[in-house]
Amino acid sequence: MQSISRRGFLKKSMLTTAGVSAATVMLQTPSSKILGANDRLRVGVIGIRGKGGQHMSEFHKMENVDVVALCDIDEAVLGERVHSLEEDGVKVKAYTDFRDLLDNDDIDAVSIATPNHSHSLIAIMAILAGKDVYVEKPVSQVVWEGRRLVDIAKKYNKIVQSGTQNRSDVGLRGALEYLREGHLGKILWAHGLWYKERQPIGNANGPQPIPETIDYNLWTGPAPLVPLMRERLHYDWHWNWDTGNGDMGNLGVHQIDDCRFLMDQKGLPRRLVSFGERFVWDDDGETPNVQFSVFDTDPAPIFIEIRNLPAKAGVRAMDHLRGVRMGNIIQCEDGFFAGGRGGGWFYDNDRKKIKQFPGDGGGEHHANFIQAVRERDPQILHAPIEEGHYSSAFCHMANTSYRLGKYMDIEQIKAQYTHDQALETIDRIRDHLLANNVDLSKTPIKSGPWLEIDTKKEMFKGEMSFEANMFIRRNDREPFVVPAKT
Ligand SMILES: NC(=O)c1ccc[n+]([C@@H]2O[C@H](COP(=O)([O-])OP(=O)(O)OC[C@H]3O[C@@H](n4cnc5c(N)ncnc54)[C@H](O)[C@@H]3O)[C@@H](O)[C@H]2O)c1
């Protein structure tokens, strides 16, 4: 395993943290000129177990793109991926510490598919080391660091794509044009839903041993270094607040992003509210497995509904809404769109099919990133980092409302809402919980307050803003600190 000196990078990051000028950092930049289609681009992939393995394959199959480096804090995962490329005749440099990979000036761009809590930090450090970046969704763990990432990308003229690939789906891109052309009149509301069955993650009953192949300090990064209190380190970090954002920030972020994309929505919402709970399961996860959030925004409100429980107790099948299990409904005056990744249909209000936009799952998203890197043109990115930041911030702010919630019964919760679509959804959620044998007379539900947002400052304002703003920024653990100044 290759291990190169970290001196250069550490020196660089200390300088930049202390406020060194853009020009100084740009001296380190390996790729700042327009590249032709035949110029080879050298890519490194950081975090390669699940999604990162797919990043590796996407880049590997592209013309004139070389995967030259892989990084993972788990040597078992790293060894397996290096071996699979070797079998394909490709020799890569292997790193366990992303700072060592970023020190390698032979790398033009990196893609990041580590857990959520290290996305912004690694992306920012990559930009400061002169790389272009593809970073998975959500692009941040808290709102503040997402804004830092956007600002730093702009300041250093780097190409940064958010891993919200549905924006590259040809079906959704076609649907967007159809909506823009106004065939169905004004948009009235958007409802994103993600009904995906999951299982409880178990009860560890105390600190768990970390496998010898894993550097737990690096894995933890900016989060508090605490003993592992669940059975599995990998993947299940989604369900603990220090490292994940629940299914709201996992799959809900795609739904929010799709709704925002299809409605041409810009910036943060004016206000939002969220309720939910981790129903039925008794396990080590902290995040809700049923959650509903409402965003008051232009041109129309967005409703996001997440469910991990089946249609009823004892089955695996999931419910659907107008035929959608994982996707979006965009309701207009004269009909609606129902679909998501992979495209969808427009219907009239009698549910008669009008027009189909078949999709491709956003398979060209990595290629779109590479094209923008070659042309050094962030304008052609399908998912520019600022859009990724907003969609991620929607999730974090909804989770903030939820986390500040009080326990209420369904009727008390309904009293907080006025929109018919919200009231109808709450009734469906009540029926869904009853079908899963949740005794609502004994199970209060955590329901957050409406929170107002200062959309320019990207902070909460008004009632409960003091408490809510505690969630905007996190105390990063040294030395894994997102720089406040560059
Ligand atoms: N866009 C999509 O549709 C999509 C789909 C799946 C996952 N994702 C995103 O991809 C990310 C990864 O998800 P996953 O399911 O592969 O998670 P995972 O936990 O299975 O894999 C993460 C990998 O990152 C490694 N890692 C952790 N910290 C690291 C660090 N500091 N440096 C290098 N490697 C590190 C881990 O060892 C692990 O191998 C998540 O943020 C997830 O939201 C996106």
Name the domain boundary from 100, 133, 158.
158
Q: Do 139 and 187 share a domain, yes or no?
A: no
Q: Do 116 and 181 share a domain, yes or no?
A: no
Ligand 1 in contact with 238 (CB < 6 A)?
Answer: no
Q: Is residue 372 part of a domain?
A: no
If pLDDT is split at 50, 70 and 90, which confidence band does 3 have?
very low
Ligand 1 in contact with 136 (CB < 6 A)?
Answer: yes
- Determine the distance separating the centroid of ligand 1 and the alpha carbon of 347, expressed in angstroms: 37
Q: Is residue 478 part of a domain?
A: no
Nearest ligand 1 atom, CA 97 = 32
Q: Do 296 and 336 share a domain, yes or no?
A: yes
Percent of the chain with pLDDT over 90: 91
Full residue range of the structural domain in which residue 106 is found: 7-158
If pLDDT is split at 50, 70 and 90, which confidence band does 192 have?
very high
Q: Do 59 and 129 share a domain, yes or no?
A: yes
Q: Is residue 379 part of a domain?
A: no
The answer to whether the beta carbons of residues 35 and 43 sit under 8 Å apart is no
Q: Do 15 and 94 share a domain, yes or no?
A: yes
Name the domain boundary from 126, 158, 190.
158
pLDDT (0 to 100) of residue 21: 33
- If one counts the domains in the chain, the total is 2
pTM: 0.94
Ligand 1 in contact with 161 (CB < 6 A)?
Answer: no
Q: Do 241 and 134 share a domain, yes or no?
A: no
Ligand 1 in contact with 165 (CB < 6 A)?
Answer: yes
Pocket test for ligand 1, best of 45, 48, 51 (most atoms within 8 A of CB): 51
Q: Give residue-wise pLDDT tens across range 8-65.
A: 444 344 334 433 333 334 334 445 567 777 789 999 999 999 999 999 999 999 999 9
Q: Is residue 370 part of a domain?
A: no
Domain containing residue 83: CATH number: 3.40.50.720
pLDDT (0 to 100) of residue 61: 96
Nearest ligand 1 atom, CA 221 = 31
The answer to whether the beta carbons of residues 272 and 290 sit under 8 Å apart is no
Q: Is residue 381 part of a domain?
A: no
Q: Give residue-wise pLDDT tens across range 379-409.
A: 999 999 999 999 999 999 999 999 999 999 9
Q: Is residue 39 part of a domain?
A: yes
Ligand 1 in contact with 112 (CB < 6 A)?
Answer: no
Nearest ligand 1 atom, CA 51 = 16
Nearest ligand 1 atom, CA 218 = 31
pLDDT (0 to 100) of residue 32: 58
Ligand 1 in contact with 47 (CB < 6 A)?
Answer: yes
Nearest ligand 1 atom, CA 163 = 1
If pLDDT is split at 50, 70 and 90, which confidence band does 5 have?
very low
Ligand 1 in contact with 243 (CB < 6 A)?
Answer: no
290-296 and 451-454: which strand pairing? unpaired
Q: Do 338 and 449 share a domain, yes or no?
A: yes
Mean pLDDT of 480-484: 97
425 phi and psi angles, rounded to 5 deg: -65, -40
- Determine the distance separating the centroid of ligand 1 and the alpha carbon of 120, expressed in angstroms: 13
- Determine the distance separating the centroid of ligand 1 and the alpha carbon of 115, expressed in angstroms: 5
Q: Do 56 and 151 share a domain, yes or no?
A: yes
Ligand 1 in contact with 305 (CB < 6 A)?
Answer: no
pLDDT (0 to 100) of residue 28: 46
What is the residue-averaged pLDDT of the chain?
A: 93
Ligand 1 in contact with 113 (CB < 6 A)?
Answer: yes
Q: Do 49 and 178 share a domain, yes or no?
A: no
Ligand 1 in contact with 232 (CB < 6 A)?
Answer: no
Ligand 1 in contact with 44 (CB < 6 A)?
Answer: no
Q: Give residue-wise pLDDT tens across range 324-350.
A: 999 999 999 999 999 999 999 999 999
Mean pLDDT of 298-317: 97
Q: Do 154 and 199 share a domain, yes or no?
A: no
Name the domain boundary from 158, 187, 220.
158
Nearest ligand 1 atom, CA 214 = 37
pLDDT (0 to 100) of residue 196: 96
Ligand 1 in contact with 219 (CB < 6 A)?
Answer: yes
- Determine the distance separating the centroid of ligand 1 and the alpha carbon of 9, expressed in angstroms: 23
Q: Give residue-wise pLDDT tens across range 55-95.
A: 999 999 999 999 999 999 999 999 999 999 999 999 999 99
pLDDT (0 to 100) of residue 19: 33
Q: Is residue 101 part of a domain?
A: yes
Ligand 1 in contact with 222 (CB < 6 A)?
Answer: no
Ligand 1 in contact with 116 (CB < 6 A)?
Answer: yes
Q: Give residue-wise pLDDT tens across range 145-162.
A: 999 999 999 999 999 999
- Determine the distance separating the centroid of ligand 1 and the alpha carbon of 162, expressed in angstroms: 14
Between CA 190 and CA 209 the distance in angstroms is 45
Ligand 1 in contact with 118 (CB < 6 A)?
Answer: yes
Distant-in-sequence contacts of 424-432, Cβ < 8 A, 24+ apart = 425/191, 425/292, 425/303, 425/305, 426/292, 428/319, 428/321, 429/290, 429/292, 429/305, 432/290, 432/307, 432/309, 432/311, 432/319
Q: Do 33 and 115 share a domain, yes or no?
A: yes
- Determine the distance separating the centroid of ligand 1 and the alpha carbon of 468, expressed in angstroms: 28
- Determine the distance separating the centroid of ligand 1 and the alpha carbon of 45, expressed in angstroms: 11
272 Cβ contact list (under 8 Å, min separation 6): 293, 294, 295, 296, 394, 397, 398, 401, 450, 451, 453
- Determine the distance separating the centroid of ligand 1 and the alpha carbon of 226, expressed in angstroms: 19
Q: Is residue 238 part of a domain?
A: yes
How many C-alpha atoms does 291 have within 13 Å on its Cβ side? 31
Q: Give residue-wise pLDDT tens across range 404-431.
A: 999 999 999 999 999 999 999 999 999 9
Q: Do 257 and 317 share a domain, yes or no?
A: yes
Ligand 1 in contact with 250 (CB < 6 A)?
Answer: yes
Nearest ligand 1 atom, CA 122 = 31
Nearest ligand 1 atom, CA 74 = 37
Distant-in-sequence contacts of 405-411, Cβ < 8 A, 24+ apart = 405/274, 405/275, 405/446, 405/447, 405/448, 405/449, 406/446, 406/447, 407/444, 407/445, 407/446, 407/447, 408/275, 408/444, 408/445, 408/446, 408/447, 409/440, 409/444, 409/445, 410/440, 410/445
Q: Give residue-wise pLDDT tens across range 114-153.
A: 999 999 999 999 999 999 999 999 999 999 999 999 999 9
Domain containing residue 304: CATH number: 3.30.360.10
Ligand 1 in contact with 50 (CB < 6 A)?
Answer: yes
Pocket test for ligand 1, best of 114, 201, 231, 239 (most atoms within 8 A of CB): 114
Ligand 1 in contact with 235 (CB < 6 A)?
Answer: yes
